Amino acid sequence: MLQIRRSSARGHADHGWLDSFHSFSFADYYDPAWMGWGNLRVINEDRIAPGTGFGTHGHRDMEIISYVLAGELAHKDSMGNVKGIPPGDVQRMSAGTGVRHSEFNHAPNATTHFLQIWIQPSVTGIPPSYEQTSFAEADKRDRLRLVASPDGRDGSVTIHADARMYAGLFNGAATASLPLAPGRKAYVHVVKGAITANGQRLGGGDALALADEAEVTLADAADAEVLVFDLAAA
């Protein structure tokens, strides 16, 4: 089964300092048909205006991944982490029993553009933790590079969830495929450019939700950046 999630159909909130598109129901945006996909709960495409950001707020029992596309995201949390997250880095925060953090764009003249991703954990009540890793463009070129997984395989960040996240950069005739075990779901999110996923043409901000499929196949790309999620069914 394939379901296309067009960029234009996503929820949208413009707060002035924050321009945000929601792939799934979030905050004041509610769509019962798109509450999540498998254990993937949130993909928000956020643009933070210069000199602004999210003030200190709390989370618990959620795996939160930040994937920066442009600018830099300044992170500070109650675990003592004070980090800058540039493009190419993947940041993972396991909220566990509870964590408070802030996220800011301190640049005076540049917008911070990033994806905020939430995945439901497979275990709750764990101590909160933080991890950040840089992935070179060459490692994502014409292939799906594992960037988040339950076991930290191949240098990926470790998430406490039955899910794997891959990132890839594709152009022209380059192709890739990802086998899916029976009973798994998958979600393909196109960050930019255009690509064909399982025969469906997708552009920037579009996504393809898959269930009961043997694999994800990617082909016919035009300067595309893609995230692919291998997910538990629920």
- Residues 25-61: tens digit of each pLDDT: 999 999 999 999 999 999 999 999 999 999 999 999 9
Strand segments (E) across 71-128: 73-77, 82-85, 89-94, 99-105, 112-119
Q: What is the rounded average pLDDT of the residues 6-17? A: 97
Give the pair of three-digit tokens for residue 14. Answer: 């413009």
For 56, the token pair is 């200190």
Place of tokens 């994800």: 216
What is the arithmetic mean of pLDDT over 195-202? Answer: 98
Give CA separation, 76 vs 42, 70, 167, in Å: 21, 19, 25
**Phi then psi for 138, rounded to 5 degrees?**
-60, -30
Name residues whose C-beta falls within 8 Å of residue 173's C-beta, 6 or more positions apart in sequence.
219, 220
pLDDT in the model for residue 201: 98
pLDDT at 234: 76
pLDDT at 130: 95
Minimal CA–CA distance to 178: which of 227, 135, 117? 227
Whether pLDDT at 139 is above 90: yes
pLDDT score at 84: 95
pLDDT at 77: 87
- In DSSP terms, 84 is beta-bridged to 74
Amino acid identity, position 37: W
Residue 186 has pLDDT above 90, yes or no: yes
Sign of CA dihedral 158, 189, 99, 72: positive
Are 216 and 195 within 8 A, CB to CB?
no
What is the percentage of the chain residues whose pLDDT exceeds 90? 97
Statement: the pTM of the whole predicted model exceeds 0.85 = yes
The proportion of the chain whose per-residue pLDDT surpasses 70, expressed as a percent, equals 100
Residue 71 backbone zone (phi > 0: left; psi -120 to 50: alpha; other: beta) = left
- Rounded mean pLDDT, 87-106: 94
The enclosing H or E element of 139 equals helix 137-140
Q: Which pLDDT belongs to residue 163?
A: 98
CA pseudo-torsion sign 99, 133, 135, 152:
negative
pLDDT in the model for residue 202: 98
Q: Read off the amino acid at residue 46.
A: D
* 104 in Cβ contact with 74 (< 8 Å): yes
Q: Regarding beta strands 99-105 and 73-77, do their DSSP bridges make them parallel or antiparallel, or are they unpaired?
A: antiparallel
Closest listed residue to residue 165, CA positions, set 37, 8, 22? 37
Answer for the pair 195, 221: CB distance below 8 angstroms, yes or no. Answer: yes
Place of tokens 């275990």: 123
pLDDT, residue 43, reads: 98
